[in-house]
Every structure is written in structure tokens, then in C-alpha cells.
Amino acid sequence: MRSAPTILHLDMDAFYASVEQASKPSLRGKAVIVGGLGPRGVVATASYEARVLGVHSAMPMSQARRLAPNAAYLVPRFALYRSISDQVMALLRALSPLVEPLSLDEAFVDLEAGGTAWDERSARLAGTKLRADIRAVTGLTGSVGLAASKMLAKIASEEAKPDGLVVIEPGTERAMLEPMPVRTLPGVGPATGDHLRRAGIHTVGEIAEAGEDELVRLLGKAHGHALYAMALARDDRPVVAERETKSVSVEDTYDVDIHDRVRVGLEVQRLADRCVRRLRGAGLSGRTIVLKVRRYDFSTLTRSETLRGPTDDPAVVREAAARLLDSVDTTGGVRLLGVGVSGLADYTQEDLFAQAAGGAGEETPEGEEPETAPEPRPETPAERRWPAGHDVRHAEHGHGWVQGSGLGRVTVRFETPGSAPGRVKTFRVDDPALEPADPLPLVDDPPDLLETTGTRGTPDAPSRPRPLEA
């Protein structure tokens, strides 16, 4: 391990919920829950105000509603979250060429590789400035952990939440880890934690005391060795700048099980089109088509087919997915469908038309269906969907967001990130003066910090002494 805390871990605070609070003045300081709002939806992120009430990520939305009936429940706006994530990641890459994103709101940074930090003082300065820059550019807060290894930096950022900075100085790791619960260590989930507890092991210090042989006996060779090393604060994993994308996939969970085989087939075609759009957006193609089906009894089946060469042709992906569906029994109902492409490449093989099943192309709809297009319903062909939390604009009242909709009505609160809490008005869902809108920036005229600081380093940190040249 290193002799200085020059590995940084950034974790944005309640990211999705914080973005929603920053863009909606009326929700600041209130419980906000972002996720799927249907009967089978789950919580993606909960604000700290909602967490006090017991709500947490991955919780069923029905349970969250029981715990926090008065919270604001919003549909995610992933395009906005990605754009803000891009701003944050750009700030991280200004610190070092070695940035390892873990998700939209979390990443490791090797400060030493960027010449940004080399000791405790310069690392702390870099972390402090990063937090200030993130607030200036996005209006949001992030927690920073600094340590000599990735494992410890992640633990430090968790200790720093919310909106803080924690540095673990080399030499203090064992003393810091010993009293912590075993679930603190990466890879120790509920099952492993219960197994250790039954063996009388409750803290990280007790893991170290148990010894490597005992851990191998309890957990198996690979897990036992790894857990013992972590308990001794040993972690030599490097920060990896680029992670190879292994697959591209999309899936949908349905509020009501789908029993109609024709409807299942149409959903698979729609998912195949979405998957191809994502594939093309990443400039990739793939050879293996994967179908995922979760049935009414929660059993999950996957089927795959490998083509002769990589493709990003929606017709080819649709037809391969349809062939895979033919081998799956969906009689009892389907609750989840997914289509993915793996075996990725950055080129396509054009001569793939012969792989299409005979006659299947006749049933393939022309063009690509919009990702959010609802299934056509003849009785209400013109009805528009208004997801809760999404942006709208009214010809008379200006910019706002959807508080809720139903029974042919949509309720809108008119406010912007820089305004006071706004007024609420209700309209018919087909009101011609109301239309969807793009999100507004969270910060007006954010400073161009990359322009002022260059691509590397932090101007507030002292210069590192350079060795004399021979």
C-alpha cells in the first residue's frame, strides 16, 4: 500500500434526490423519493429527510409509501442525471488521468498519478477544493474519502456523509477498522454477515483475530483469504481508468403480469429497438443476443444466440430475440422482459441479412419506436403521459414540473431552480398550451473551472518539490 492518502473516493450525496431538490425549490428540506412508481417499483434514491423515516434504496416502493406517505414520489430523469454526472467526472479528470467511475455518482481518483497530491496535506487540499468546485458547478454536495487504498477511501467517504471529507492517514488503518461492524468491509452482505455473526464474529477486529484458516473454513478459500486481507487493511488494487463494456442491455418490469403471447412478442421487439439505440449511441456492435424473461413465479430464464459477426442492425437483433422467445414458455404470465447484446466490438459486419428468420421480417414494424412510447390504445389515441417530477412548459405560466396526473388531469407546480417555491395549477392532460420541456440548469452561469485550472492539478495546493537534475 501507499505511504500517503492519495486515493480519493467521491460519492455524491443522495444524488438523484438531491438533483430533484436542487431543481425544485418547493422540495428542499422535504422527503423526496425517486424510483419506479408502479406497484412493483423500487426506490432508486431517497433524500436524507426520507432516510430518517426508514426509506432506503432498493426498497419496494409500496413499503416506502407506508413509511413516508407524505413524501414527494418522482420518476427518475436519467438524461439530467447523466449530464450532471458528466460535469462531475470532468472535474475528477482534471485532477488525474486515472479516474475509475463506479456509477453516475461515484468514482475513485488516483491523485498521485495526476501529480495533484503526494502527502496528507496536498491530498486534503485537493479533496477540499474538489468539493467546492462540485458545489460551484452543479449546486450539489459530495462526500470525499482519502486513503492509501481503494477500500479505505470508500469507507472514508461513507464516514464523511453527508457533505464531508474524511482522511485516513497511513498507519492508522487497523485501529480505525477494528471496532467497525463486519458489514463495513466490501463483499460482506447480509448472508455473509449472518454467517460470521453465528460464528461469534461481529467486528472487523474479530475477523483479524479469528485468523485466516478459520475464515477459509467458514467462508471458503477465495472469500476467506480476501476477507482476512481486508480486515488487516491490505488492498493493493489500482485505480483503473477505463472499464471495458461487456454488454449493453435494457429491461422493463411490468405492473401487471403479461399473459398475451402477442403482447409479449411486441414488448420484446420494443426492447430490442431500445437496446440497439443504446448500442449505437455507444458506437458499438455485438455478436451475442440475450433474452431475459422473469415469469409470474419469479423464476428467471435467459436465452442467448451468437451471430456470425457483430451487428447493430435493429432488424437482426429483433429477429434473434424473437427466435429466443420461441423457446420460452410464458403461459403463466411474464413480469419482466429484457434484451441485451454482448460480445461487443467497435465495428459491424454488414453481411448479416441471411441470419434473419424467414418471413420474420414481414412482421417487423418499420422504423424505431420511441423509447417512452406507450402501447397504442384506440379509445384514447391522443392522451399524453405526464411522469411525476418531469419538466413541462405552459404557454402562459412558463416552466414547471409535474406533481401528479390521473383521471384526465395533470397538476403542475410552476417554479425553476433559481425561483422561490412556485404556485400549483391543474390542467386537462390534453391541454394544447402544456408541453414537455427540457430540464433547466441547476446553476446559472456555472464557472468554467476546467478553463481556469487547466487539465491537471489544483492551483491552491503547494508545488511538489522537484528533484535536482543531474
pLDDT value at residue 348: 52
Residue 106 annotated as catalytic: yes
- Reduce the secondary structure of the chain to three states and give it as a string: CCCCCCEEEEEECCHHHHHHHHHCHHHCCCCEEEECCCCCCEEEEECHHHHCCCCCCCCEHHHHHHHCCCCEEECCCHHHHHHHHHHHHHHHHCCCCCEEEEECCEEEEECCCCCCCCCHHHHHHHHHHHHHHHHHHHCCCEEEEEECCHHHHHHHHHHHCCCCEEECCCCCHHHHHCCCEHHHCCCCCHHHHHHHHHCCCCEHHHHHHHCHHHHHHHHCHHHHHHHHHHHCCCCCCCCCCCCCCCEEEEEEEEEEEECCHHHHHHHHHHHHHHHHHHHHHCCCEEEEEEEEEEECCCCEEEEEEEEEEEECCHHHHHHHHHHHHCCCCCCCCEEEEEEEEEEEECCCCCCCHHHCCCCHHHHCCCCCCCCCCCCCCCCCCCCCCCCCCCEEEECCCEEEEEEEEECCEEEEEECCCCCCCCEEEEEECCCCCEEECCCCCCCCCCCCHHHHHCCCCCCCCCCCCCCCCC
Does pLDDT of 427 surpass 90?
yes
- Give pLDDT, residue 383: 54
Instruction: Assess whether pLDDT exceeds 50 at residue 365.
Output: no
pLDDT tens digits along 84-119: 999 999 999 999 999 999 889 999 999 999 999 999
Q: What is the mean pLDDT of the chain?
A: 86
Mean pLDDT value across residues 136-144? 96
Catalytic residue among 100, 106, 319, 415: 106
Confidence at residue 369, expressed as pLDDT on a 0 to 100 scale? 37
What pLDDT does 347 receive? 58
pLDDT tens digits, 287-346: 999 999 998 888 889 999 998 888 889 999 999 999 999 989 998 899 999 999 998 876
* pLDDT for res 243: 67
pLDDT of 466 higher than 90:
no
Mean pLDDT for 172-201 is 90
